[in-house]
Amino acid sequence: MNIEVKDLYYTYPAGVKALLGVSLTIKTGEQVAIVGQNGSGKTTLVKHLNGLLQPTSGSVLIGDWDTKKVSVAKMARRVGYVFQNPDEQLFCRTVGEEIAFGPRNFGFDAQKTESMVNDALQLVELSDKKDTNPYDLSSTWRKMVALASIISMDTECVILDEPTTGQDAANVARIAHVVSELQKRGKTVITITHDIDFCAENFERVIALSKGQVLLDGPAGIVLGKEKILAQTYVDPPQLTRLGKRLGLRKTVRNQEEFLTAIKKLIL
């Protein structure tokens, strides 16, 4: 199921022009991070992918579904959306019910629903909290409940809006684990993030937006090295990428392992 965005323009009712001709294709199973300054159109773009917003002009295709012709309810079968703030999406009395809501709504039978719920709970390390009220959990764990409630719907594409905001190092690692597990399952994962180190360490393709247009789109190892162009949309390359450049490493390094390997070569 490819995602095809063609010459997408979007103007908010109040007149703010948020997208000015965005075109891109995301293939099945790709892991894509969308970066860019505040107000660059990141959230507006991804809200088009599940039909929450409709193009002012241009089109968005999710597989063979045109978002203009398919209801938001139906779109939910193909694209799951984890909101930035979990409190905007949680409403059930227990964690288990919250996570069962999606699959049950899709009409899956009790047995299938249960197996999907258990799988999602296990993935986010919440198996022992099935009967807990989500609001008795910390906001960190509510984030994981929100994540699980989308995973349990088993959609081909999962969108994560700023998944690491306000999360500590241990939880960022948990979220990274979920992303890699979804990748193994062949899911398409699209994330919006300002956490450029998280982006560098977990995503293969990076799209940088600036003022409603695509500024850069390509493999993370190339895009994240383009410090001057990224600066136009207020994105700093990852910490170790910057350090590598300053030290004169020729290759764009993205993580600790790549950095140390390159440094060792430089010394020897």
* Least separation in angstroms between CB 125 and another protein: 13
| 18 vs 190, beta carbon nearer another protein | 18
* Least separation in angstroms between CB 153 and another protein: 25
Residue type, 24: L
190: closest CA among 75, 42, 64, 87? 42
| 121 vs 249, beta carbon nearer another protein | 249
Helices 110-123/95-105 angle, 10° precision? 130
* Least separation in angstroms between CB 115 and another protein: 30
What is the rounded distance in angstroms from the CA atom of residue 82 to the CA atom of residue 84?
Answer: 7
* Least separation in angstroms between CB 251 and another protein: 15
263: closest CA among 244, 245, 246? 244
| 105 vs 165, beta carbon nearer another protein | 165
What is the rounded distance in angstroms from the CA atom of residue 18 to the CA atom of residue 184?
Answer: 34
| 73 vs 268, beta carbon nearer another protein | 268
Tell me whether strands 3-11 and 57-62 are parallel, antiparallel or unpaired: antiparallel
| 110 vs 266, beta carbon nearer another protein | 266
Instruction: Check: CB of residue 146 under 8 Å from CB of residue 86.
Output: yes
| 73 vs 169, beta carbon nearer another protein | 169
Burial class (CB in 10 A: 0-12, 13-18, 19+), 65: middle
| 119 vs 236, beta carbon nearer another protein | 236
* Least separation in angstroms between CB 38 and another protein: 3
- Name the site residues for another protein (rule: CB under 8 A): 12, 14, 16, 36-39, 43, 84-85, 138-140, 162, 165-171, 194, 196-197, 233-236, 238-240, 242-243, 246-247, 256, 259-260, 263-264, 266-267
Three-state SS at 268: coil
106: closest CA among 158, 70, 154, 47? 154
Three-state SS at 77: coil
* Least separation in angstroms between CB 14 and another protein: 6
Other beta carbons within 10 angstroms of residue 184's beta carbon come to 8
* Least separation in angstroms between CB 184 and another protein: 26
